[in-house]
């Protein structure tokens, strides 16, 4: 297993990947960690000891005609239709957050983890939603947190 220095993270100027692209598929929870191990699609093992967590699409290693890229695995999520009432969407997002679940908000949908408590909340509130598999990129909280 090799420990590598990261070449670039998403948002940085990415090196060109004219080489063979090799993905390292991992889940969102692992990506949030600073220390972890992973196996690329070609069987090559890597160990990560990072200053900052990586994100989906980060180029982390290049060698001998290969460009290694992080690929976040899709996970089971609920997609909630926003509709035309932004205040209703804000209330639903707040209610999910009040249950301490992260959300991802796009122009069309709110995504959240597929959890029985959220399913119950959405059904009780009469909100239209459906389960799906998607790469989940929740909003990252900056500066507020507490424990129960």
Check whether 69 has a pLDDT greater than 90. Answer: yes
Examine the domain organization and report whether 68 and 79 are in the same domain.
no
Rg over CA atoms, the chain: 18
Domain boundary among 44, 72, 100: 72
Q: Tell me what pLDDT residue 16 has.
A: 63
147 in a structural domain: no
List, for residues 36-55, the tens digit of each pLDDT value.
Answer: 999 999 999 999 999 888 99
Examine the domain organization and report whether 42 and 99 are in the same domain.
no
Mean pLDDT value of segment 132-139: 94
Q: What is the CATH number of the domain that holds 45?
A: 2.60.260.20
**Pair 134, 79: CB distance under 8 Å:** yes
**Pair 31, 56: CB distance under 8 Å:** yes
Q: Tell me what pLDDT residue 65 has.
A: 87
Examine the domain organization and report whether 80 and 95 are in the same domain.
yes
Total domain count for the chain?
2
Q: How many CA atoms lie within 13 A of 61 on its CB side?
A: 20
Cα distance between residue 89 and residue 92, in whole Å: 5
List, for residues 87-131, the tens digit of each pLDDT value.
Answer: 888 899 899 989 999 999 988 899 999 999 999 999 999 999 999
Tell me if the pTM is above 0.85. Answer: no
Domain that holds residue 99: 75-134
**Pair 31, 11: CB distance under 8 Å:** no
Q: What is the CATH number of the domain that holds 95?
A: 3.30.70.790
146 in a structural domain: no
Mean pLDDT score of the chain: 86
């Amino acid at each position: 297993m090799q420990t590598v220095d990261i070449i670039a993270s998403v948002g940085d100027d990415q090196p060109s990947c004219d080489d063979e692209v090799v993905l390292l598929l991992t889940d969102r929870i692992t990506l949030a960690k600073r220390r972890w191990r992973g196996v690329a699609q070609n069987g090559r093992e890597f160990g990560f000891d990072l200053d900052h967590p990586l994100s989906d699409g980060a180029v982390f290693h290049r060698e001998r005609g290969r460009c290694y890229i992080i690929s976040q695995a899709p996970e089971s999520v609920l997609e909630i239709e926003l509709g035309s009432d932004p205040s209703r969407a804000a209330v639903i997002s707040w209610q999910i957050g009040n249950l301490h679940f992260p959300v991802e908000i796009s122009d069309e949908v709110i995504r959240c983890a597929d959890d029985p408590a959220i399913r119950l909340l959405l059904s009780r509130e009469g909100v239209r939603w459906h389960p799906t598999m998607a790469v989940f990129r929740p909003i990252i909280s900056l500066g507020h947190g507490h424990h129960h």
